[in-house]
Amino acid sequence: MDRLRVCRGSGSGSYFRRALPVCDGQWSLLAVVQPFIPYHLHVEDYWRGMILFGRNLASYKFGLGRAANSSDLHQARCSEFNLNFSVFVWFFAMAVLFQLARGDMGLFAKLRNTPNGFTFGDGLVPQVWFGCALVALAYPQRVWSLMLLGIAGAFDFWWRLPYATPSIYFHALISVQVLLTALHLLVSRRSFRILPEEFIDNFRPSVLGLLIVLFSFAAFHKLTWNAPASTAHFFHLLARYYLPFPLLDRIPDIGWWLLTVGGELVIAVTLLFQRTRWFALPLCVVFACFVGSIVYGFGAIVLASLTPLFAIHLIFEPFDGIGVKLLRRCATARIWRFGFALAVAAVFLWDHATGFTLADRDWLFRPGAKPGTADVLTPMQFVWFIFSTAVLVGVLAAAYRDRSAIAARIRPPRFWVAYVLPAFFLLSEVGLYTGSKG
pLDDT tens for each residue of 135-182: 999 999 899 999 999 999 999 899 888 777 888 899 999 999 999 999
pTM above 0.85, yes or no: no
Question: From CA 24, how far away is CA 124, in angstroms rounded?
Answer: 83
C-alpha angle with apex 61: 57 to 62, nearest 5 degrees?
90
Max intra-chain CA distance, the chain = 90
> If you compute the radius of gyration of the chain from its CA atoms, what whole number of angstroms results?
25
Alpha carbon 374 to chain centroid distance? 27
Q: Residue 287: which of 212, 160, 194, 392 has the closest Cα?
A: 392
Residue 289 has, within 13 A of its CA and on its CB side, a CA count of 19
**Phi and psi, residue 242, nearest 5°:** -125, -30
In degrees, rounded to 5, the angle at the alpha carbon of residue 323 between the alpha carbons of residues 319 and 329 is: 160
Residue-level pLDDT at 226: 85
Q: What is the spatial distance between Cα 347 and Cα 344, in angstroms, rounded to a whole number?
A: 5
- Asked if residues 13 and 39 have their Cβ atoms less than 8 Å apart, the reply is yes
Which run of H or E residues covers position 171? helix 166-189
Q: Are 310 and 207 a contacting pair, CB within 8 Å?
A: no
Q: Which amino acid is at 312?
A: I
CB 221 within 8 A of CB 231: no
**What was the pLDDT predicted at 41?**
58
Per-residue pLDDT, 10: 41
**Cα torsion for 424, 430, 433, 436, to the nearest 10°?**
-30
Is residue 249 within 8 Å of residue 236, measured between CB atoms? yes
Q: What is the pLDDT of residue 322?
A: 63
- Which pLDDT belongs to residue 150? 95
Nearest alpha-carbon partner for 174 in 425, 428, 411, 433 = 425
Q: How many CA atoms lie within 13 A of 143 on its CB side?
A: 19
Please choose, from the candidates 157, 288, 151, the residue with its C-alpha nearest in 3D space to the C-alpha of residue 215: 288
Distance CA(166)–CA(160), nearest Å, equals: 13
d(CA 144, CA 136) in angstroms, rounded, equals 9
Indicate the residue type of 273.
Answer: F
pLDDT of residue 233: 78
What letter does residue 107 receive in the DSSP assignment?
A: B
In the prediction, which pLDDT does 365 show? 58
Of 133, 45, 93, nearest in space to 300 by CA: 93
Residue 404: what pLDDT? 85
Residue 409, pLDDT score: 84
Instruction: Tell me the helices (H) and strands (E) count for the chain, helix number first.
Output: 18, 3
pLDDT of res. 8: 41
Q: How far apart are CA 144 and CA 87, in angstroms?
A: 15
- What is the pLDDT at residue 9? 40
| CB distance 76 to 42 below 8 Å | yes
181 near 308, Cβ under 8 Å?
A: no
| Ordered per-residue pLDDT tens for the chain, 438 residues | 444 444 444 444 443 444 444 444 444 444 444 444 444 556 667 677 777 776 666 666 777 776 666 655 556 666 778 888 999 999 999 999 988 886 555 566 655 555 555 555 567 888 899 999 999 999 998 999 999 999 999 998 998 887 778 888 999 999 999 999 999 999 888 888 888 888 998 999 999 999 999 999 988 888 888 888 888 877 777 766 655 555 566 778 888 889 889 999 999 999 999 889 999 999 999 999 888 877 888 999 999 999 999 988 888 766 666 666 666 667 677 888 888 899 998 988 887 777 665 555 665 656 666 666 666 677 888 888 888 888 998 899 888 888 888 888 888 877 788 888 888 888 888 877 665 555
DSSP E strands: which ranges in 23-112? 27-33
How many CB atoms neighbour CB 37 within 10 A?
9
Contacts of 324 (CB under 8 A, 6+ apart): none
Question: What is the C-alpha separation between 204 and 207, in angstroms, rounded?
Answer: 5
CB atoms within 10 A of CB 301: 30
- Report which DSSP code applies to 73: H
- Long-range contacts (CB closer than 8 Å, 24 or more residues apart) made by 72-75: 73/43, 73/46
